[in-house]
With several copies, the nearest count.
Chain A
Amino acid sequence: MAELTLIEAVRAALARALEDDPSVVVLGEDVGLDGGVFRATDGLWQRFGERRVRDTPLSEAAIAGVAVGLAAQGFRPVAEIQFQGFIHPALDQIANHAARLRNRTRGRLTCPMVLRAPYGAGVHAPEHHSESIEAVFAHIPGLRVVIPSSPARAYGLLLAAIRDPDPVVFFEPKRLYRAGKETVTDDGTALPLDTAFVAREGRDLTLVGWGAALKECREAAETLAGEGVEAEIVDVATLKPYDAETVLGSVRRTGRCVIAHEAPRTGGFGAEIAARVAEDALDVLRAPIRRVTAPDTIPPLPRLEHLYLPSAGQIAQAAREVVAWR
């Protein structure tokens, strides 16, 4: 048991996986001696050697494609893409190969690989370093999409992702990498990969979010609590497969749903969540669903990124509106 930051929890999970399973191989740009630009792999190269913790050339497509080959051979590659904004060249290999290999071969070849990437804005990073494009991946059949929101979740979900027999993309909220510590028991216990978590209980409305946005959801819930409004927060840590039941269960109790995400609104994963509620829980909805998201624009450069990210204030305001509805 230790108090860890999110990035330390990622590192602990990687170390645990490397330790427990000789088929685990970590690869990516600067993951070796440098320990990753965010230090996710700090010390792993020294501990597990350059064969299993492997610096790659600057080739995102090949990183993903090589992972497919390794995985087809029974290895469990855990590849790092340095920032989510640079994952696009890997998309072909992810969508057209990793996610399909099992289906294409009726299970003869499989692809137990993980692609990790830090995502999201709010750390004053340079251009192309603030993306939040999880929705793109959640639309790819055959892929799992996981986004932890805390150190303990990061640890348990990453272990689960590595052990899963199918490809998983694992997006880490870089804004939370060092935002706080949480008790993490490094005993190799994985979390379920298909379960949303109720992060806070409340009767008046359901706040749905994931990753870094959970922070603003929590802050909004605190504010609202001061106003006598109790928000239930559901952390959709596994976007795909999406655990509709947990969200629906909560909405059935509260009758109201506000969804928050960092990604641009149109086609964000919030749309899927809203659609599922509108399909399956319309009868209990006492107010329109509200999405609090970034606008449909590119993440601004640092000076104005605060205007882009959905704020706790905006979430609280949306919550007030749905609670006051009619």
Chain B
Amino acid sequence: MAKTPPGTERTVARFEIRARGYLTAEGEPRGALPSFAEDRDQLVRLHAAMTRTRAFDQKAVALQRTGRLGTFASSLGQEAVSVGLAAAMRPEDVLVPSFREQGAQLWRGVRMEELLLYWGGDERGSDFADPAVRQDFPVCVPVGTQYPHAVGVALAFTLRGEARVAVVAGGDGSTSRGDFHEALNMAGVWRLPVVFVINNNQWAISVPLDRQTAAQTLAQKAIGAGLPGEQVDGCDVIAVRDAVGRAVERARAGEGPSLIECVTYRLSDHTTADDATRYREDREVSRHWAGEPLKRLRAHLGRAHGWTKEEEEELRARIHAEVEAAAERYLAIPPQLAASIVAHIHAHLPPDLEAVRARLAEGGDG
């Protein structure tokens, strides 16, 4: 029986979704900034990371267009999400990405040539070399399946009594997948240190947000699991860094999971295999260029911290060189051994596969 007090109707729960943003599309502060954002160095680091992410994406697309990379998913216009969330994490935290968080992966220590190797069709790209990221999950292609992994990682932290946090990212489309809700709910029941970051870039390939869900916000998807949900301007790296930072530290303090919806726009095609002109208006895309995250932070840096044209050019040149060098290294990586197609499928290969391995190692076919 419900414990309904006298009166036939009453309110038993109230929720509200708050949205934050610190910089306008023009890079003007809307009000007081979070304290980290008063620090020029920190802002420069964020700016550099976003610039680096964009340069990396451009190079990757160029490599794909010239037949030297496979299908690739650019994060154009959404760099603030992946950079902001990574900046909010500690090295010992674990990132569970989807396939558009190269900004976060690079920030944390995944190497450019590793990402290129992966998208270039070589599994070694997911065998990250840097010890700082060896516990991070690789790119996740089946949409939404990454969420439960992060819950498991967070459970591991809790069981070991470690003050670490799992951060998992995904797109607006991924919030329609059952795995997302099952993961949110389980994280809620167990109050685990996990932060769910949604990059709401308005599109899931050709499906626009209003055909994806009738919910006004994606942040409110947290409510059904009893978690706090919050919306931020995902083109404002300060807002992302701030919101994810608060969520991560809440989680670390044992106060449980939460969800951050970052409102962005996918300025590129879905992937290099997609042609977005089939389903959306150029006008819509152009309109969204106005608030894109790099320009916005740069404007603020210039106005508030005297970031100069020279500094900007120096940064771009440095990053250009870095990306080119990484691409060179990528292209120079010798092919995987043929036998590698079976060598890693079990720790101990059964006789059949051992025979295949041996045959491949001798240069025969599988």
Contacts and interface: CB of A to CB of B under 8 A. Distances in A.
A97 B335 contact: no
Given A102-B346, A106-B127, A295-B356, A58 B179 contact: no
B341 A72 contact: no
A297 B341 contact: yes
A59 B182 contact: yes
A65 interface: yes
A108 B151 contact: no
B221 to A, nearest CB: 12
Contacts of B344: 102-103, 106-107
Contacts of A72: 135, 137, 149, 152-153
A32 B206 CA distance: 8
Nearest to B127: A106
B117 to A, nearest CB: 9
Contact of B186 (A56, A92, A311): A56
B205 A73 contact: no
Interface in B287-333: none
Given A29-B205, A129-B141, A307-B341, A61 B353 contact: no
A64 B142 CA distance: 15
A269 to B, nearest CB: 15
Contacts of A70: 152-153, 155-156
A242 B350 CA distance: 8
B353 A297 contact: yes
Interface in B347-364: 347-348, 350-353, 356, 360
B127 A105 contact: yes
Contacts of A65: 145, 147-149, 151-152, 179, 182-183
Contact of B155 (A66, A102, A194): A66
Nearest to B339: A307
B42 interface: no
A108 B352 CA distance: 24
Contacts of B211: 55, 57
Interface string A47-77: 0000110011111111011111111111101
Q: Which one of B122, B139, B344 has the highest number of Cβ atoms from chain A below 10 Å of its Cβ? A: B344
Contacts of B119: 126
B91 to A, nearest CB: 16
A37 interface: yes
Interface in A255-284: 265-266
Contacts of B134: 108
B345 A141 contact: yes
B128 A108 contact: yes
Interface stretch (A8-16, A169-177, A298-306): A298-306
Nearest to A298: B345
B138 interface: yes
B182 A303 contact: no
A85 interface: yes
Contacts of A74: 156
B174 interface: yes
Interface string A86-128: 1011001100110000111111111000000000000011111
A58 B144 contact: yes
A58 B152 CA distance: 16
Interface residues of A, number: 84
Interface string A25-55: 1000110111101000000000000011001
A62 B139 CA distance: 19
A156 interface: no
Contact of A73 (B153, B177, B213): B153
Nearest to A295: B356
A125 B355 CA distance: 27
A109 B137 CA distance: 8
B185 interface: yes
A311 B126 CA distance: 28
Given A93-B148, A106-B127, A241-B352, A29 B182 contact: no
Interface string B102-129: 0000000000000000111111101110
Contact of B335 (A56, A127, A294, A303): A303
Q: Which one of A32, A58, A308 has the highest number of Cβ atoms from chain B below 10 Å of its Cβ? A: A58
A142 B346 contact: yes
Given A106-B126, A295-B356, A55 B207 contact: yes
Given A57-B185, A102-B346, A296 B155 contact: no
B123 A313 contact: no
Contacts of A107: 127, 344
Contacts of B351: 241, 244-245
A59 B188 CA distance: 13
Contact of A69 (B144, B150, B173): B150
B63 interface: no
A68 B142 contact: no
B163 interface: no
Given A108-B128, A313-B365, A73 B156 contact: yes
Given A165-B347, A303-B121, A125 B176 contact: no
The 7 closest A-B pairs by CB, nearest first: A69-B152, A65-B148, A302-B121, A241-B350, A73-B156, A34-B206, A62-B182
Given A62-B186, A66-B149, A106-B124, 16 more contacts: A34-B279, A57-B185, A57-B207, A58-B174, A62-B182, A85-B142, A92-B142, A103-B123, A105-B126, A106-B126, A108-B127, A109-B138, A124-B121, A126-B71, A266-B352, A297-B353
9 contacts: A30-B207, A57-B173, A57-B182, A65-B183, A69-B156, A128-B141, A166-B347, A300-B341, A301-B121
